[in-house]
Every structure is written in structure tokens, then in C-alpha cells.
Chain A
Amino acid sequence: MQSVFRIILQRLALGLLTLFVVSIVIFTAVNMLPGDFAQAILGQGATPDAVEAIRRDLGLDQPPITRYFQWLGSAVQGDLGNSFAQANFASFVGADSGVRTTVAQQIAPRFANTMFLAAVTACIAVPVSLVLGILAALFRNSVFDRATNVTTLTSISSPEFFLAYVLILFLAVLNPVLPSLSNIFEGMSFGERLEKTLLPALTLTLVVTAHMMRMTRAAIINLLASPYIEMARLKGMSPMRVIVKHALPNALAPIINVVALNLAYLITGVVVVEVVFVYPGIGQLFVDSVKIRDIPVVQACCLIFAAAYILLNLTADIMSILSNPRLRHPK
């Protein structure tokens, strides 16, 4: 058990290091974006003086290295800075209200929405993929297996917006069972939220199922030639039991990794679906912020995405390790 503990600590340290490297990459990349916020906000007719004033006010005149460490230093303390876009530039015309929205305030509700959507999707997609994968492995090369493969592959190959519109057509327009707009706001009950979220969640389920289902199927089938599977068969165990009890526990590691990868995708890569359903998630905020060069928000979003990826992969690593009895119970 001690060795497992050490491995977990090592992975955690490695995760933090990765996050640090990613923060450098993010900062550099964002700074390489053409144009700058002051120019963007003031438009074509801006006087150089005004541009310079805003730049100074936001600290954009500092050298990049100084800015990076200022940003990192406060980010570590939980302060992601102030949003440029929400800042009140009225001060430049002499009427500063003194109120500035922090990035955290802006991101928090959006991120919560995104997590909600991801959670709902995961609750549908993960069990469905596992069950389909197990059944496909059980009835491999049957009509069922092929049909499942073709269906999931078709859905993963289709563009997300197309799937979204198809679902809207069938579930909102032709049979109005679900709302086609997912405009969520604060103060909604859980039930209402769930109802509004269901259509985007179903769309995303179609997108992520194929990968997880096929990995489950492949990981199980990979083991079916093992001597211990033959042994289970020779003990007269039913095919279902052979797969669920004997193959699945040994196939968990690759499955867990693919599930983690897809969950990370659900948090970071769902902009298109958010746009189609007008879902107020972090993806839309991210795209909007890039558009107006709201650098603190862009950087914060990137950092959150990176952290989500690293954290989920870390969890997957640790769970794969724990799924191996050799590591759980050393000699």
C-alpha cells in the first residue's frame, strides 16, 4: 500500500509541474495573439494617448515576464485578476463607478453550468457505453455488435451541430418532448435545469459514446484469449459471467483512461453544442473573450481547461493503478 501512496504523490507532483509548464504556454500563446485589448475596445478612431492610458491602467505596458509572474502569483492565491471587458472605462471620461468584475465572478456561474452539463452527460454516456461495450464483446461479430459499432461510429463521425439539429428536429420540433433552448439562469429548480440540459446532454452522449464503447469492447476481447478466460469457460461459467466477472476487472485500466479523456472533452470542448442550444457554459464565454481580447478571462479559461485535463487524467492513472491487484496487494 505504501508504494501505491508514493506513486500517487509522484503523479500529483508531476501533475503540478505539468500545470506550471502549461501556464507558461498559455501566457505565451495568449500574448502572441494579434491586436490588443485597448485597440479593440477603443476602435479605429482611438487616439494613441487613450490607447496608452488604458494599456497603462491594465498593466499591459509592463514587460511580459513581469506580467507572467504577477499573473501566476495571484492565480496561485486564487485571484485570477479582473476582466478587461467588464471594467468600467467610464473613468476615462471622468465618471468611474469604481466597480470592477473579477474574472472569478464572471467564470464561476458559467463553469458551474458546464460542470452540470458534463455531469448529466457522463451519467448517461458512461453506463450506456460500458453496457453496450460489454454486450458487443459478448455477442461479438453478431448483428447486434455490428449495428452498435455502425451506429456509434456514425454518430462520432457526424459534426456535433448536425447531431444537435437532428435531435432538435426529432425531440423538440416533430415530437415536442424537450425544449430546444437551454437558457439556464440562477434560481431554477433542479428538475427544470435537468429538463433544459437534457437535449445538449444527449447530443454530447452521442459524441462520446463510440470511443468509450469501442474501448470497452476491445479491452475485453483482447483478454478473451487469456488462459484464465479459457479456465473460466472450462469451469462451465456462462458467457456473461466470463465477461463481467473474469474479463472486465482485468480490462479496467484502458477503459478508465478513455472515460477520463472523454470527460475532459466534455468540460473543455463543447463550444459548438453550447452555441447551438444557447447554453450558458464556459465554452461560449471563452470564445467571446478571445473575440474581444479579454486576456485575463482567456488565460483563466485555459488554465481551468488544462487543470481539468490534468486532474482527470491523474484520477484515471490512480484508478488504473488501484484496479491492479498486484499493486494493491504486494507480495
Chain B
Amino acid sequence: MSALVEIRDLWIEGRSDEIWSPIINGASLSLKKGEVLGLIGESGAGKSTLGLAAMGFTRDGVRISKGSVMFDGIDLITASAAKKRELLGKRIAYVAQSAAASFNPAHKLIEQHTEGPVQHGVMSRSDSVEDGIELYRRLRLPNPEEIGFRYPHQVSGGQLQRAMTAMAMSCRPDLIIFDEPTTALDVTTQIEVLASIRDIVEQFDTAAIYITHDLAVVAQMADRIKVLLKGDEVEEADTRTMLSHPKEDYTKSLWAVRAFERPQKPAVHTNATPVVSVQNVSAAYGKIPVLHDVSFDIHEGRTVAVVGESGSGKSTTARCITGLLPPSAGVIEFDGKALPANYKSRNKDQLRQAQMIYQMADTALNPRTTIGDIIGRPVQFYMGLTGKQKRRRVEELLEEIEMPAAQYIDRLPSELSGGQKQRIGIARALAAEPKFIICDEVTSALDQLVAEGILKLLARLQDDLKLSYMFITHDLATVKAIADEVVVMKEGKVVEQGPKQEMFVPPHHPYTDLLLSSVPEMDPDWLTNLLNERGVDNIGDAAVDKMS
């Protein structure tokens, strides 16, 4: 059987500042009808570029310099724009990473769904509307008859992602490119979307290229896996072989990341005063209550991981502790003394003791100030150091985060990689010499290898400086790696808390159980087994709804 997609020796270049630099160096791939290929690699590996190239599409400032892309006997590189438009949407479809950004905010979902079939002359509008409703039903969207008549902002992220899969299916294409379709979703939502995508791709015997950086996810979805590193192909094999016998060192290192885990620390002495004590805190945004009676303690040198889905109140708790959002009830104690509710009434020392590291290092660093100034600012503000002393302290801090001062002190944030930026975020927090640091999803925007480096750094700093961390995350692998204690939050309430060891051993609170069981595992049969075990109605949002 001949291949549906055949990419041979493809070279792609991207332009920055008038210089063309390589993105993909001679990639080849072939895909049979109905087959699913997983493309994995870190960000910047060229996965999306390669995925789009399989559609004959390049983004602005990107060009194909050499090689061929054949789709069902049609050369997509030499094909005219009109010829390609005929194929796109009709025979080759695309599912983007962020459905919320990729649906046009100005039109209803069903309008966007029917656009392809109507414009390509596949179906009439009314047939396509009916078909859309049927697809929504198959993808297990709630209220399939009505959901299409809503605007994108009226539908949740997981539902949008499934609506986008339905839209990709609208013309029954031969090939769909899935570009990180579940990366932006919570674990419980992700599992539902994964199950839906897998089902529908099987039902219609559609070939797919599934792009992701999450190995466990790709293990569930793909027949074969191809690993990319900085535009170079590392290796390719069928999923089971790749998981059990990775050949290349890089692939092995990807597999090994999940092995990092700190030993559990001994239990805290019962009389010890916690560094931070959150006591019966409730809070509201305007009139909408978001936190209800939240209590937990964080002891010296310990890490408390606060877990939960988006909207569960994790970040709001952090805002209460820092005083950005004064709680409506309850107190925050620091070293046994109550802190003023509003940060404006806290003194400099109280402010200094609690620092924050943010999720998006990109936006948390001023792009126009040098690394030296970014770290130097809190050094001067809190510690009162100036001139040479200040510079020496900044250099020390840079050494602390394993970035040679001579090389980095005068750079701008844009000249650093994602992981390095996050290290600068850490150094900036350390500059205030705090006892307590809130880490808000600090690794979720990073690739696994880089994230592991950050976690190890945070663990070492904790040991050296006796720091206490509040670690906000939705990633349970991170919790396993770094936490001493875990607080599970749902809808603004603490549903379970305790030492990490206990948390990962049954019996759990049903919600904790759902969270834990929703984390994809490397086993390629994991999703199938889970679905068999629980049934499709007992996973994801449906299961969450049943609980409340």
C-alpha cells in the first residue's frame, strides 16, 4: 500500500533579523492511510513546523529550502496556492493547541464548523449543521444540539478542543494534524479529549500526525513515534518498541526524566511553629466567593504542594498569602504572628520574607532591563546594597542558580532560553533573602528536561538555605518529585491534605483519586485499560460534575 503522506529530506529555514537559520534539517517521514504518527520533542525541536509542512503550509518568515512533501501523489511544495486551498480543510485538517485562540471569537461554533464543508462544496449548510451535531454527539460533548450555537467564549476549554476536532472532521479528511491539542488542559479534561480524539480517528480511519511534548500522551495515541531534537531526527520506531527499547541516548534521557523524586522528609515536630500558617481563609472576587475556609501550614525547609485544576483556587490562595487579595475571613500567620491582610499595610521586612516565582518567566521579567538590573533591584530595595557590593551580591546569586555571572549579567531576558529565564526568576526571589517562596506553576511552561533541572535547583536551594516552598501545580509528576506535603483543592475548598507518601497511597478522597488516575502513564494500554475499568462516563469533567 502506498503512503498517504511522504516527506523526503525536508529542510526548513526560519528568518530572524534577516538571517535564515535552519529549523528542520532533512526530515523524512511517511504515513499510511489510517495510521497515527506521534511527533515528540522539546519546544524549538521543530515539531509544529514539520507538522504544518506536512500540510504544505509554512508560517510567515519560514521557508522550505529543499526536499519534497507528497500528499496522495500531489506535490505540496510545487502545487499552486489555489490547488493547496482545495486540499486544506477538505482532505487535510488541523487541530491547534489552543482552541480558545483558534476559534474566531466573532462567529458561532457551528458557523465555523460548516464553513469548510460549504466552501469546499462537500455538503450543504443544513446537512453540515446536522453532521456537526452528530459529530458533537460522538465526541461526547454535552448538549450536542445546542452547543454549536454558542460563541467560543461561552464554551469551556476542553469542550472547545473537542469542537475543534469535530470541525477538523467536518469534511472527513484523510489526514489530521493534531498540534499539542491537550497541552493547555487540566489532566481530568485532557483524558476526556484524548479518549474522544482516539475514538473518532479510529471510527473514520483517519491518518493523523500527533504532535506533543508529553511522552505518556503520545504513548496512548500513536502507532509509531518519531523523536525530534533541534530540527534533527533522533529516531523512529513503533510505539511499543520505542517505549521499551529506546536506542538513542537523547530518547533514553527523555524517558528517564520522570524518575526524579526527592526522599520524603521526616515528619515535623508537632510543637514547631510553622513558617506560614493559613487559617480558615475565605476570599472573594467582588461578590463571587472563590475560597472557602482554607487552612494549611508550611514548615521550615518543607515544600507544600497545592494541587487542583484551573479554577480550584490555588493561585487565589497565593494572592491571599502575599496580601494582593485581602481575605474576607481568616488570618495568615508568619512565624506565629498574624500578617496584615493587605500588602500595603505590611512593612518591608514582612514583604521581604515572602517572595514569588511566576509561571510565565517570559512576562514576569522586564524585557528592557538587563539580568543584572533585574536581580539588582530587590538586592538594593530590600538589602540596601549599592554599587560594588550590589554587583557582588548579584554575581553570587547568579552563581547560586548555576549561571556564570560574567556571561549573563549584561544580557537581556530575550537573549535567554525559557529555563534560564525561570532561573533568573528564582534568583530574583532569592535576592530578598526570604524564608518562604511561592512557586506558581514554575515548571509548567517548560520542557521536561529543563523542568527537571529547575526542580533539582529548587530542591538544592531548599536544603542549603532552609527555604519553605508553597508549590502550586496541576502536574502530579512534579508533586511526586518535590513535595513533602500535599494540599488538594477543588472549587475553593481543601478536599484532602497530608504527607506526600500518604497521598499517593489509597484510600484517597474520590477527587484525589480522579486526579491521580487521570495522569497519563507511559504504558500504551493505559488509556484503554482505564476506559474499560471506569467507563467513558466516569472520566474527566463528567466525573468531576458527579462529585459535586
Interface residues of A (CB under 8 A from B): 225-228, 230-238, 241, 245-246, 249-250, 325-326, 329, 331
Q: Given A228-B103, A233-B57, A250-B106, 16 more contacts at CB 8 Å?
A: A227-B98, A230-B96, A231-B104, A234-B55, A234-B57, A234-B88, A235-B116, A236-B88, A237-B85, A237-B89, A249-B104, A250-B104, A325-B151, A326-B105, A329-B154, A331-B153
B106 touches A325 (CB 8 A): yes
In the assembled complex, B377 has its CB within 8 A of some CB on chain A: no
A241 touches B119 (CB 8 A): yes
Q: Which residue of A is nearest B155, CB measured?
A: A331
Contact with A along B99-134 (1 / 0, CB 8 A): 001111111000000011001100000000000000
Please list the 9 inter-chain residue pairs (A to B) with the smallest Cβ-Cβ separation, ordered nearest first: A236-B88, A235-B89, A236-B89, A249-B106, A227-B101, A234-B94, A236-B85, A227-B102, A228-B104
Give every chain B residue within 8 A of A325 (Cβ-Cβ).
Answer: 105-106, 151, 153
Q: CB within 8 Å of A: which of B499-536?
A: none
Residue from A227, A233, A236 in contact with B90 in the complex, judged by beta carbons closer than 8 Å: A236
Give every chain A residue within 8 A of B150 (Cβ-Cβ).
Answer: 329
Contact with A along B54-81 (1 / 0, CB 8 A): 0101011000000000000000000000
Give every chain B residue within 8 A of A228 (Cβ-Cβ).
Answer: 101-105
30 pairs across A/B with beta carbons < 8 Å?
A225-B60, A227-B98, A228-B103, A230-B59, A230-B96, A231-B102, A231-B103, A232-B104, A233-B57, A234-B89, A235-B89, A235-B115, A236-B87, A236-B90, A236-B116, A237-B85, A237-B89, A237-B115, A245-B115, A246-B104, A246-B106, A249-B104, A249-B107, A250-B104, A250-B105, A250-B106, A325-B105, A326-B151, A329-B150, A329-B151
In the assembled complex, B86 has its CB within 8 A of some CB on chain A: yes
Give every chain B residue within 8 A of A237 (Cβ-Cβ).
Answer: 85, 89, 115, 119
A236 touches B151 (CB 8 A): no
Give every chain A residue within 8 A of B86 (Cβ-Cβ).
Answer: 236
Give every chain A residue within 8 A of B101 (Cβ-Cβ).
Answer: 226-228
Give every chain B residue within 8 A of A245 (Cβ-Cβ).
Answer: 115
Q: In whole angstroms, how far apart are the Cα atoms of A331 and B150 in the complex? A: 9
Known: A225-B60, A231-B103. A238 touches B94 (CB 8 A): no
Residue from A227, A250, A331 in contact with B154 in the complex, judged by beta carbons closer than 8 Å: A331
Give every chain B residue within 8 A of A238 (Cβ-Cβ).
Answer: 85
Q: Which residue of A is nearest B94, CB measured?
A: A234
Give every chain A residue within 8 A of B90 (Cβ-Cβ).
Answer: 236
Q: In whole angstroms, how far apart are the Cα atoms of A231 and B107 in the complex? A: 13
For B57, B104, B107, B151, the residue with the greatest tally of chain A CB atoms inside 10 Å of its CB is B104
Give every chain B residue within 8 A of A232 (Cβ-Cβ).
Answer: 104
For A234, A326, A331, the residue with the greatest tally of chain B CB atoms inside 10 Å of its CB is A234
Q: Which residue of B is nearest A329, CB measured?
A: B151
Give every chain B residue within 8 A of A249 (Cβ-Cβ).
Answer: 104, 106-107
**What is the distance, in angstroms, from B57's C-beta to the closest C-beta of chain A?**
6
Chain B residues touching A, range: 20 to 34
**What is the distance, in angstroms, from A254's C-beta to the closest C-beta of chain B?**
14
**What is the distance, in angstroms, from B360's C-beta to the closest C-beta of chain A?**
18
Chain A binding surface SS class: helix
Q: In whole angstroms, how far apart are the Cα atoms of A235 and B103 in the complex? A: 12
Give every chain B residue within 8 A of A230 (Cβ-Cβ).
Answer: 59, 96, 102
Q: In whole angstroms, how far apart are the Cα atoms of A325 and B108 in the complex? A: 9
Q: In whole angstroms, how far apart are the Cα atoms of A233 and B52 in the complex? A: 12
For A232, A236, A326, the residue with the greatest tally of chain B CB atoms inside 10 Å of its CB is A236
Give every chain A residue within 8 A of B98 (Cβ-Cβ).
Answer: 227
Q: Which residue of B is nearest A226, CB measured?
A: B101
Give every chain B residue within 8 A of A236 (Cβ-Cβ).
Answer: 84-90, 116, 119-120
Q: Which residue of A is nearest B154, CB measured?
A: A331
Q: In whole angstroms, how far apart are the Cα atoms of A236 and B84 in the complex? A: 7
Q: CB within 8 Å of A: which of B133-168?
A: 150-151, 153-154
**What is the distance, in angstroms, from A236's C-beta to the closest C-beta of chain B?**
3
**What is the distance, in angstroms, from A265's C-beta to the closest C-beta of chain B?**
29
Q: In whole angstroms, how far apart are the Cα atoms of A139 and B89 in the complex? A: 23
**What is the distance, in angstroms, from A194's C-beta to the closest C-beta of chain B?**
36
Give every chain A residue within 8 A of B103 (Cβ-Cβ).
Answer: 228, 231
Give every chain A residue within 8 A of B87 (Cβ-Cβ).
Answer: 236
Give every chain B residue within 8 A of A226 (Cβ-Cβ).
Answer: 101
Q: In whole angstroms, how far apart are the Cα atoms of A116 and B119 in the complex? A: 42
For A235, A246, A325, the residue with the greatest tally of chain B CB atoms inside 10 Å of its CB is A235
Residue from A235, A246, A250, A326 in contact with B153 in the complex, judged by beta carbons closer than 8 Å: A326
**What is the distance, in angstroms, from B365's C-beta to the closest C-beta of chain A?**
23
Give every chain A residue within 8 A of B94 (Cβ-Cβ).
Answer: 231, 234-235
Give every chain B residue within 8 A of A227 (Cβ-Cβ).
Answer: 96, 98, 101-102
For B87, B119, B120, the residue with the greatest tally of chain A CB atoms inside 10 Å of its CB is B119
**What is the distance, in angstroms, from A114's C-beta to the closest C-beta of chain B?**
36
Give every chain A residue within 8 A of B105 (Cβ-Cβ).
Answer: 228, 250, 325-326
Q: Which residue of A is nearest B91, CB measured?
A: A236
Give every chain B residue within 8 A of A331 (Cβ-Cβ).
Answer: 153-154
**What is the distance, in angstroms, from A134's C-beta to the closest C-beta of chain B?**
16
Give every chain B residue within 8 A of A329 (Cβ-Cβ).
Answer: 150-151, 153-154
B96 touches A231 (CB 8 A): yes
Q: Which residue of A is nearest B107, CB measured?
A: A249
Q: In whole angstroms, how far apart are the Cα atoms of A225 and B87 in the complex? A: 22
Q: In whole angstroms, how far apart are the Cα atoms of A14 and B32 in the complex? A: 64
Q: In whole angstroms, how far apart are the Cα atoms of A228 and B107 in the complex? A: 11
Give every chain B residue within 8 A of A225 (Cβ-Cβ).
Answer: 60
Give every chain B residue within 8 A of A233 (Cβ-Cβ).
Answer: 57, 88
Q: Which residue of B is nearest A225, CB measured?
A: B60
**What is the distance, in angstroms, from A330's C-beta to the closest C-beta of chain B?**
8
Give every chain A residue within 8 A of B55 (Cβ-Cβ).
Answer: 234
For B60, B115, B150, the residue with the greatest tally of chain A CB atoms inside 10 Å of its CB is B115
**What is the distance, in angstroms, from B81's C-beta to the closest C-beta of chain A?**
8
Q: Which residue of A is nearest B84, CB measured?
A: A236
Contact with A along B28-70 (1 / 0, CB 8 A): 0000000000000000000000001001010110000000000
Give every chain B residue within 8 A of A326 (Cβ-Cβ).
Answer: 105, 151, 153
Q: In whole angstroms, how far apart are the Cα atoms of A228 and B153 in the complex? A: 13
Give every chain A residue within 8 A of B154 (Cβ-Cβ).
Answer: 329, 331
Q: Which residue of A is nearest B100, CB measured?
A: A227
**What is the distance, in angstroms, from A221's C-beta to the closest C-beta of chain B?**
11
Q: Which residue of B is nearest A228, CB measured?
A: B104
**What is the distance, in angstroms, from B454's C-beta to the closest C-beta of chain A?**
28
**What is the distance, in angstroms, from A321's C-beta to the closest C-beta of chain B?**
14
Q: In whole angstroms, how far apart are the Cα atoms of A311 and B288 in the complex? A: 36
**What is the distance, in angstroms, from B123's C-beta to the closest C-beta of chain A?**
14
Q: Which residue of A is nearest B86, CB measured?
A: A236
Q: In whole angstroms, how far apart are the Cα atoms of A227 and B104 in the complex? A: 9
Give every chain A residue within 8 A of B96 (Cβ-Cβ).
Answer: 227, 230-231
Q: In whole angstroms, how far apart are the Cα atoms of A234 and B164 in the complex? A: 13
Q: CB within 8 Å of A: which of B359-413?
A: none
**What is the distance, in angstroms, from B399's C-beta to the closest C-beta of chain A?**
40
**What is the distance, in angstroms, from A251's C-beta to the closest C-beta of chain B?**
10
